[in-house]
Amino acid sequence: MMLLSVENLSISFRTDEGPVTPVQGVSFDLAAGRTLGLVGESGSGKSVTTKALMRLLPGSAKLAPDTRIRYRDKAGQIVEVEKLKPDARALRALRGGEIGIIFQEPMASFSPVYTIGNQMMEAIRLHKGLRGRAARELAIEMLAKVGLSNPAARVDQYAFELSGGMRQRAVIAMALSASPRLLIADEPTTALDVTIQAQVLELMRGLQSDLGMSMIFITHDLGVIAQIAQEVAVMYLGTIVERGPVRDVLKDPQHPYTRGLLKAIPSLDRLTRRLHPVPGDIPSPSARPTGCPFHTRCTEARPGLCDRMSPAQTSFGTGRMVRCHLAEPALARSA
Amino acid sequence: MAVFLIRRLLGMALTLLLVSLMVFLIMELPPGDYAERYAFRKFSGTGVAVTPADIQAIRIELGLDAPMMVRYANWISGIVLRGDFGQAYSFLTSVNNVIGDKVWLTLGLLVATLLLTYLIAIPVGLYAAVRRGSGADYGLTIISYLGLALPNFLLALLLLYFANRWFGASIGGLFSDQYRDAPWSLAKFWDLVKHLWIPALVLGWSAIAYQLQTVRATMSDEIGKLSVMAARARGLPETRLMVKYPARLAVNPVVSTIGFDVNRIFSELPIVAAVLGLTELGDLLLKSFLDLDMNVAGAILLLLTVVIVVMNFVSDLLLAWLDPRIRLEG
């Protein structure tokens, strides 16, 4: 049984210009102990998707009626996340205790008026039932686990007293302090410089195998995905356009967008070759193109087909999926 | 923290020194002095011819002939060393006797006004921000803009009129007739409290409207912060979340402007006092200026400015206590 199973996740926002749907028909499963990489440009709906899993979206957001989010909690019960009331006890137990989240900006994730320890112990008290000294000990232990030097002193410091890398480690410690079984990491390395990035990735990989957690790792960098995830889902304009085991997808990408992202990665082996960025910008979800959402930027788009008809999901190989008119016939032949 | 405290204390001492100099200069500014006014009062209509020599004699008697700096030194050292504000010329007694009770009444009015302001502005502002965009929010916003637009002496007149008409209550003054000259007692204190809320409301009126908007704006900002979403993602119940994170920071701009509010209240005090028939310092300040009774005017000005400076210091301390960024970096 899967830890998390998402079916037909569609999210729309009420705005002054009418409803906008940044996420449409997203489905994926995540098994215990595995890492799913969620890749895409800014505005592709990655963050909104993961926030929906914890029901962290603002009041103006609405889930479509056929959305199903199923989570198996520590007691083995299936939680129907999309049906939880905003003030439900079960939702509060899910947040932090079952699913932890790390945001992109470590500085802004901490309140400037409380110490790091104060904010960590809050989660520990809520979910682990520990009080006072015991809660403090656990917070210190978590800070040590993420590799902060002198954790007994750090616990009483404020986020603005730490350096960028230390802050990101502290954020990870905070998200893990109530031992969630699923960790959502929303571009956790984007704000860090490259050497620290590698350290943090290494740390997260180690923690994941130590604690046996599952992870959803959001990034716009396919290179990072190769290092940390087993499965990858490529998102474009609120839909998953390609999904499968990381090795297979990177070796043999089927969607033109995935190929475009791969070509846009700089590499030391190809210094003489020019980079090929994906041309154009991602359209706004309020002006979604008809047909395939990617056809406005696709170099291989077929007029009359791609701009008219929305491509269906094609499943193939071992757990792979693609949504592209061009990939369908080729895959049909090989099958 | 110790460095912070010492620095603010030194700053306050320096400000107080400059303020006392300025107050003294203001006392010197009006043309003429009390010697002339005294001679005029004593001899006008008696047919006695007053010569400049007579006035000079009065001046020497009152100690008004010394150079300015000497008089300043005497004045300020009397206040600092002996708590003696000098002679109240037109009352034939000491300033301390004249203003004694009124200082406490004024401070009581100030504290009541501040308490009323913050007790209304902070919770209502927080509520409006949490319910942002709702009918309650728009209603409160309209009322508070009305508060900013309506001058408070007009509000005082309206309150006087309607209170009298509807309740037949006399709301002028700070005491009912039977307590006015009675010695202090619990009953007299309760009578004061019953009278105090109207001047406090009138004086706090614009501050309430202003601070309500400040709290609402800061709170709206703070609610959207990532740290608030992070706390929500830890599973914190919503009410505790709102109180612990955004509300705590939304109070900061209010705390840091306590000094401004005190300033505003003192500036509006004389007019409101005149309308509501209060016998506190504002009224006395106007009279003493008209009489050129500079020791009384100076004492009142000095007391009011000292209160403002001290309240600013208190607001600095409160802010440092509330916000570790100031405590650790300031």
Higher pLDDT, B123 or B51: B123
What integer is the mean pLDDT of B248-256?
90
Tell me, rounded to whole angstroms, the distance of Cα A139 from its chain centroid.
25
A182 and chain B in contact, CB less than 8 A: no
- Pairing state of beta strands A314-316 and A320-322? antiparallel
* pLDDT(A231) > 90: yes
Residues of chain A neighbouring B232 (CB-CB closer than 8 A): 56, 95
DSSP B246: I
Q: In chain A, what are the domain boundaries?
A: 107-179, 253-334
* pLDDT(B292) > 60: yes
B131 and chain A in contact, CB less than 8 A: no
User: Tell me, what's the pLDDT at B198?
Assistant: 80
Please, what is the angle between helix B95-130 and helix B135-149, to 10°? 150
Query: How do residues A189-207 score in pLDDT, each as one tens digit?
Result: 877 788 888 888 888 888 8
pTM confidence score: 0.81
Residues of chain A neighbouring B325 (CB-CB closer than 8 A): 112-113, 158, 160
Handedness of CA B68, B71, B75, B80 (dihedral sign): positive
* pLDDT(A127) > 70: yes
To the nearest whole percent, how much of chain A has pLDDT over 70? 95
Q: In 3D, which of A49, A54, A57, A55 has the Cα closest to residue A7?
A: A49
pLDDT-derived band at A334, boundaries 50, 70, 90? low
pLDDT-derived band at B329, boundaries 50, 70, 90? low
Specify the range with the lowest mean pLDDT, choosing from A133-142, A165-174, B200-209, B248-257. Answer: B200-209
How far away is chain A from the Cα of B227, in angstroms, using its nearest Cα? Answer: 4
pLDDT-derived band at B305, boundaries 50, 70, 90? confident
To the nearest whole percent, how much of chain B has pLDDT over 70? 95
Identify the residue among A89, A111, A128, A168 best suited for mutation to test binding to B, counting B beta carbons within 10 A and taking the highest.
A111
Where do we find the tokens 């402007």? B257
DSSP-H helix ranges across A3-161: 46-53, 89-94, 106-109, 116-128, 132-145, 151-154
Structure tokens at A282: 């991602």
B264: amino acid identity, one letter: R
B326 and chain A in contact, CB less than 8 A: no
User: Tell me, what's the pLDDT at B132?
Assistant: 81
pLDDT-derived band at A308, boundaries 50, 70, 90? confident
* pLDDT(B29) > 70: yes
> CA angle at residue A74 from A73 to A79, to 5 degrees?
15
To the nearest whole percent, how much of chain B has pLDDT over 90? 15
What integer is the mean pLDDT of B109-125?
91
Distance CA A48, CA A19 (A): 15
pLDDT-derived band at B190, boundaries 50, 70, 90? confident
What integer is the mean pLDDT of A300-325?
87
Distance CA A102, CA A176 (A): 9
* pLDDT(A209) > 70: yes
The full set of domains in chain B, from first to last, is 14-84 (no CATH), 98-329 (1.10.3720.10)
